[in-house]
Amino acid sequence: MIQTFANCQIFRNLSLGEIKEISSRATPAHYERGSFIFEIGDPANYLYIMEKGSVKLHNMSPSGKGVTFEISKAGDTLNGSALSTGTYFVSAQALTDVTVLRIARNEFFGFVAKYPNLAMEIIHLLSARLKTEYKRMAAIQREEVEQRVCRSLVALASKFGTTLSMKREELADYTGTATETTIRVLGRLKRAGIVGCSAHKGEIVIADMDKLRAAIVDTDDPR
């Protein structure tokens, strides 16, 4: 458990003693694949820290149209900003069996007020995430679908490696396109040798990472 905290970005600048103090207030919880850790709109009473497994943060509309914001893994917090806004603004669904640690909102904020290093790391983390979202917005508004699929693949691969275990539909929700459209793009990428052909169901293998990266630099403003 201590190790989980030490691996978590927002706690990394704390001393071992401080981490021990905080982790003493955390309780573990398990969720099985497919279940929800919380749903959008629930009151945000706990900070969740991922220990094991992966979780999809998304906003599924009643019509079935999903928007995926992030896939979280060990060391990530789940929609931690919601502790500030009062209610979770995304849903968290387990993609695998999952173990999390959770800390009550008030206790967590107590620590934040007490340890400037912790507050500072949170600020850095939120800033980085905001930057990511801004870039993503710019990409969505400017780029064509093929670009965006490639961009999604790069983002996912840099976090999870070149073998992604996700369905086409999940990639489509992450990219923000129809499933069929994503499949057609993947088809083109296969023919270009960028994506592997063999891949099992529910799996996407990136065959040539360099080519993939090259495919998204052609547009304006490489920054």
Contact 5, 23 (CB under 8 A): yes
| 131-170 binders of a copy of itself (CB under 8 A) | 131, 133-138, 140-142
Total count of residues recorded for the chain: 223
Least Å from the CB of residue 117 to a copy of itself: 8
DSSP 8-state symbol, 208: -
Tokens of 205: 């293998």
Identify the CA nearest to 164 among candidates 210, 209, 211: 209
Binding a copy of itself by CB under 8 A: which of 12, 25, 52, 129?
A: 129
95 binds, among DNA, a copy of itself, none (CB under 5 to 8 A by kind): none
Residue 59 to residue 134: CA distance in whole angstroms: 18
Residue 99 to residue 75: CA distance in whole angstroms: 11
Write the interaction track for a copy of itself spanning residues 68-107; mark x where CB under 8 A is met and - where it is not: -x-----------xxxxx---xx-----------------
Residue 202 to residue 141: CA distance in whole angstroms: 28
Write the interaction track for a copy of itself spanning residues 168-197; mark x where CB under 8 A is met and - where it is not: --------x---------------------
- CA torsion sign for 179, 181, 182, 186 is positive
Least Å from the CB of residue 25 to DNA: 38
* Residues at the site binding a copy of itself, with contacts judged by CB under 8 A: 40-41, 59, 61-63, 65, 67, 69, 81-85, 89-90, 109, 112-114, 116, 119-120, 122-124, 126-131, 133-138, 140-142, 176, 219-221, 223
